[in-house]
Structure 1
Amino acid sequence: MSAPRQIIMVRHGLSAANLDQTIYNRIPDYRIPLTEQGVAQAKVAGEQIRRQLDGQKVCVYVSPYLRAYQTLEALELGDLVDRTMEEPRLREQDWANFQNPEEIAGQKELRNAYGHFFYRFREGESGSDVYDRVSSFLETLHRHWSTPDYAPNTLLVTHGLTMRLFCMRWFHWSVEYFESLNNPGNAEVRSLVSGNGGYTLDVPFEQWTAAEPGTTVMDAPLR
């Protein structure tokens, strides 16, 4: 097999940190759980994904974060899963270790002014750092797809920014276009669907400002 029929991506459901930012002071980011609402959201996403799979097997790659694993569990894909692999390169953007909410809020303001792709958090990563590890993961995917017994579908259980950057790398979107996009909502699904010699994104990401995939810094107004 050279490539799957579809590459399905799902963001984790609503987490405890989505409701209470102070939790970052007490619990490491990777151990923050889903809320009951987040589990319910993931169950709904699972219904959608099962319809898309239509009885076919899927190979799953999951972020090592607890909320991603809990999302995968709540999808209830059962024997449709051919195999599951933990993939650290699909983790959330690193912002800090134990996070001070006030300090992170100040850095978010700086990121909004500087740009989400290039701004690097003081104890963490920039969007471009995540882009680099997603690019490395894609090389691994292509090696996996070359094996003859690979399942006909791929599922990534991951995070909102990582989903956008995966698509940016796949479709060769510009930085300026990436900057115009919003994250998907909790437990939202996006799929790259094969057809006519390539892949298309089934549902576009919402944009907060107008830009085209080929828009570059040369086209952007000065801030």
Structure 2
Amino acid sequence: MAVTELILVRHGESIGNVAREEAESSGALSIPMPMRDADVPLSEVGVEQARAVGRWLAADQDRLPDTVWSSPYLRARQTAQAALAELANPPAIRQDERIRDRELGVLDLLTKRGVGSQFPAEAERRRWLGKFYYRPPGGESWADLVLRIRAFLADLERGPQRGRQLIVSHDAVILLFRYVCEQLDEDSVFEIARSGSVTNASISRLVRDDAEPGWRTAVYNDDQHLEAYGARATEHPGEIDAAR
């Protein structure tokens, strides 16, 4: 068995996370963001969170990754870079577009109120189809993310990688790694989603061994390391309605 552990880390707080929260709380229709989603950087808090992840990794040899993967989006790459800077001999970061954030298409940069105001038919279609299968025009559904994750994991299994893989990605992607690896169904994954969003710079661990070849979740959405290593925890749902 080549790959035995997946350490899944959500990127640190981004300036987009902060802007979305402010727009939602103020009742705005859209989120003021003068850059494409792929180019949104970390906030100062997000950088400290990423460093805390690195300090957590460095504190125990049994946490050090054999390979590091990152979404190509800037906030994820910056998280991986800041975390690995805390290690004595960090591995190279490999980017893979299949673990990028969900594409929202025409709904990008709209608040929940904005979607209802500008695309009421889409809001209704979303309610009818449900979160898992609803695909906004020009965007992706959660089922589309699942297909990306399945392809990524299949290549991981066929490739030369061994041991512990660190994957820096986005909240919905991390949740859907559980869906794929644990062979969950739609109801089960939304039960997890309703318990709370994946917090910034949180750590989830999926493990397997020869005795139990199937994946199991050892840790999910844990952010205790942030306070322990001098960073503040933040919860910014990456999507306005992550739970069905």
Alpha-carbon offset, residue 116 of structure 1: 1.8
Residues 65, 166 of structure 2: 8 Å contact kept:
no
Q: Does 1:133 align with 2:142?
A: no
Q: Does 1:90 align with 2:75?
A: no
Long gaps (5+) in structure 1: 207-222
> What is the CA deviation profile of residues 12-31 of structure 1, one whole-angstrom value per residue up to 9, with x for unaligned ones?
01111111135565210000
**Alignment coverage as a number of residue pairs:** 202
Q: Does 1:30 align with 2:38?
A: yes
Residues 6, 194 of structure 1: 8 Å contact kept:
yes
- Quick check: 128-137 or 81-90, which moved more? 81-90
Please give the residue correspondences for 1:176-191 in structure 2 after superposition, counting only pairs within 5 Å. Answer: 176-182=187-193, 183-191=197-205
Q: CA RMSD in A?
A: 2.7
Aligned-partner SS, 2:204: strand
Partner of 1:6: 5
Residues 11, 186 of structure 1: 8 Å contact kept:
yes
After TM superposition, the score normalised by the length of structure 1 is 0.79
Aligned-partner SS, 1:61: strand
Of residues 135, 141, 165, the one that matches 1:120 is 135
Aligned-partner SS, 1:20: helix
Of residues 148, 167, 174, the one that matches 2:185 is 174
Query: Counterparts of 2:13 and 2:64 in 1: how far apart (Å)?
Result: 28
After TM superposition, the score normalised by the length of structure 2 is 0.73
Long gaps (5+) in structure 2: 21-29, 223-243
Aligned-partner SS, 1:191: strand
Of residues 136, 143, 151, the one that matches 2:158 is 143
**AA of the residue aligned to 2:132:** F
Query: Counterparts of 2:164 and 2:131 in 1: how far apart (Å)?
Result: 31
Residues 27, 98 of structure 1: 8 Å contact kept:
no
- Quick check: 31-40 or 116-125, which moved more? 116-125
Aligned-partner SS, 1:82: coil
**AA of the residue aligned to 2:205:** S
